[in-house]
Structure 1
């Protein structure tokens, strides 16, 4: 297996999935998937975890049997045969009977379980929505977890105590915690990066990556006019992405915005898509489009067509999880020749800011009212928030699913069994591949993986963290608020999306701007902002 083949088998699927999960084509917040500086995704590090000899490991091992429901991904083997669950049963005495609907029908089966009252004892990788947590928690189908965390989950408690914003972001409007999250502090997971074709920079004589939109414009012009790919054809596409949302992530922060939706600045919510910064963004994008510096198929091509452009040597600047996913790259070292695009500034916004992905994904684990052993269950899941437990959940048993490469434990690598690649092996050992499971993904373990590209991706992401934040925190809306938001946002989001395309393709952004803002105001955006402000204030003031 060549070096790049190994990289592709390990990274390609997971990186693309991770990027898609962050919603690169959408900036909708809807109260789920956002945070602020110093919030969960920014401050997870520093949450010390208990070693394997903690209270979790010393819990009673008297055999009990519980029913567990979770989604089975196509790549996975039977959950009852996974080393992860077998090892956890050995550690805790808890045996599970599994209900694993295919991932494509899991939401339907989950809803049927709630509606019929025929509940499992545990939901695992549960994909619980905020609305489901609130509804079924208040109905009593899901039990509150905060007291169980306090008394039976020292590792989760330590994580929450060290990061109060995580606790606030998983506590519903009635003051209860009904599900556990996955938390990551891994830089590459928190930052989506835009890459510059390094060979193009060298060809046209650009020595430094641009730091302002004006410098970016000049570089893109050189790419377009300087035969950057060296084939003698006028086929260069200086700036592109899988869709307009990917390009937006690269450009919008230069104008002080992190979303086209609701953003919080200094405790005050605003609607980004009617702001002056958004108008400046549209004008800049319009300029790039007119001069064919922005891919003129950005609103129509598929992800496959976008990737094909990169593989054929046509792309200069693009957002992707890693360069090798888009460019025709042969070796590890070829990745390293392509720098990231820094956080840009503009005359409108001189202070660099960057979009931060959410480091907390809620709804991964819940205990139902049918469970007769909630204390034992909480002790079971608490182990997954240790370094050792997270390693087990991610890659299986040490020595079988992964191994240390040195006695000092500075580097580890995954193990592939004969006839399977690494991801297939991992998916037969643990339910993690393709799912979001309850755990804490720490730098302490994950940064030691024996993969130079993975390590480089994390290193490339670190400089952004000090200036990165998210538009709006991860909050819960009341049932009444959520119902009203569902009504308000349906037409509003569609209109903003349609008008973004229209403005970028238009002759003059200024010509239709006032009518556009007037239309949005008539769509009751002020009511939407009132709801978001109230939810933000509750979140900000909670303990």
Structure 2
């Protein structure tokens, strides 16, 4: 989750992300219902590109509290996708990786301690915590940020009303982004897929294998 002074930056980065949970966190405990205007101001506003890439003109750094599966590597920052996102956005993320088996305990400690990361990403924050900490002002409401900086995500909410309904808490606010996969993108829905490198197919003058026999022939070549 994002600390108040950086929440708009991380929310903007969330728009770039393909999936995962990102909720804004405030560095200030206002304890009340009202929250300040989430729009950037001053130096932050001057550094922001409201549209397009990079998201910010001068690089910034953020820290994400992140759930980790046993099959994942130990350095998300070094994976190709996050390196590309960093170059595209000018936002460098350091991932505090927490194994999923310890996630609930570590997340609760982080929230109770008040020393918040800039964001919780893929951290399985339950709706009860979103409501509780949202009402306290710890999580920043994302409604206005989505309207201002997330046209693609806003379109998703309009296309899939149930998605917006599921994200909207009883107070009418949105505090998180969902994991969302297109129903047409079958590889994400059926588990670990097999991938064939197009460059190799081109060099071998072969089409993409469609049967086990064709795949076997491809492997032999």
TM-score, with normalisation over the residues of structure 1?
0.26
Q: Could you list the structure 1 runs, at least 4 aligned residues long, displaced by more than 4 angstroms after superposition.
A: 401-407, 450-453
- Paired position in structure 2 for 1:131: 128
Match of 1:76 among 72, 76, 82: 72
Match of 1:115 among 96, 112, 117: 112
Counterpart Cα distance in 2 of 1:176 and 1:75: 34
| Superposition RMSD in Å | 3.4
3-state SS of paired residue (1:175):
coil
Please tell me whether the aligned partners of residues 55 and 90 of structure 2 are also in contact (alpha carbons under 8 angstroms): no
- Paired position in structure 1 for 2:59: 63
3-state SS of paired residue (2:115):
coil
Aligned length: 154
- Name which one, 1 or 2, has greater alpha-carbon Rg: 1
Offset at residue 98 of structure 1 (A): 2.0
Superposed counterparts of 1:302-381, under 5 Å: none
- Paired position in structure 1 for 2:10: none
1:94 aligns with 2:91: yes
Q: Deviations over 1:239-286 (max 9, x none)?
A: xxxxxxxxxxxxxxxxxxxxxxxxxxxxxxxxxxxxxxxxxxxxxxxx
3-state SS of paired residue (2:123):
coil
Residues 71, 151 of structure 1: CA spacing in aligned structure 2 closer, same or farther, 3 A cutoff? Answer: same
Residues 119, 187 of structure 1: CA spacing in aligned structure 2 closer, same or farther, 3 A cutoff? Answer: same
Counterpart Cα distance in 2 of 1:56 and 1:451: 38
Counterpart Cα distance in 2 of 1:132 and 1:82: 30
Structure 2 alignment gaps of length 5 or more:
1-49, 213-221
Counterpart Cα distance in 2 of 1:57 and 1:166: 26
3-state SS of paired residue (1:177):
coil
Residues 451, 104 of structure 1: CA spacing in aligned structure 2 closer, same or farther, 3 A cutoff? Answer: farther
Counterpart Cα distance in 1 of 2:80 and 2:136: 35
Structure 1 alignment gaps of length 5 or more:
1-53, 193-320, 323-393, 396-400, 414-449, 454-543
Offset at residue 141 of structure 1 (A): 1.4
Counterpart Cα distance in 2 of 1:119 and 1:93: 22
Offset at residue 96 of structure 1 (A): 1.5
Please tell me whether the aligned partners of residues 60 and 93 of structure 1 are also in contact (alpha carbons under 8 angstroms): yes
Please tell me whether the aligned partners of residues 56 and 152 of structure 1 are also in contact (alpha carbons under 8 angstroms): no
Residues 68, 188 of structure 1: CA spacing in aligned structure 2 closer, same or farther, 3 A cutoff? Answer: closer
Residues 138, 90 of structure 1: CA spacing in aligned structure 2 closer, same or farther, 3 A cutoff? Answer: same
Offset at residue 155 of structure 1 (A): 0.9
1:178 aligns with 2:184: no
Please tell me whether the aligned partners of residues 59 and 92 of structure 2 are also in contact (alpha carbons under 8 angstroms): yes
Q: Deviations over 1:195-230 (max 9, x none)?
A: xxxxxxxxxxxxxxxxxxxxxxxxxxxxxxxxxxxx
Offset at residue 117 of structure 1 (A): 0.7
Offset at residue 187 of structure 1 (A): 6.4
Please tell me whether the aligned partners of residues 64 and 95 of structure 2 are also in contact (alpha carbons under 8 angstroms): yes
Counterpart Cα distance in 1 of 2:57 and 2:88: 7
Counterpart Cα distance in 1 of 2:61 and 2:146: 21
- Paired position in structure 2 for 1:166: 163
TM-score, with normalisation over the residues of structure 2?
0.60
Please tell me whether the aligned partners of residues 56 and 91 of structure 2 are also in contact (alpha carbons under 8 angstroms): no
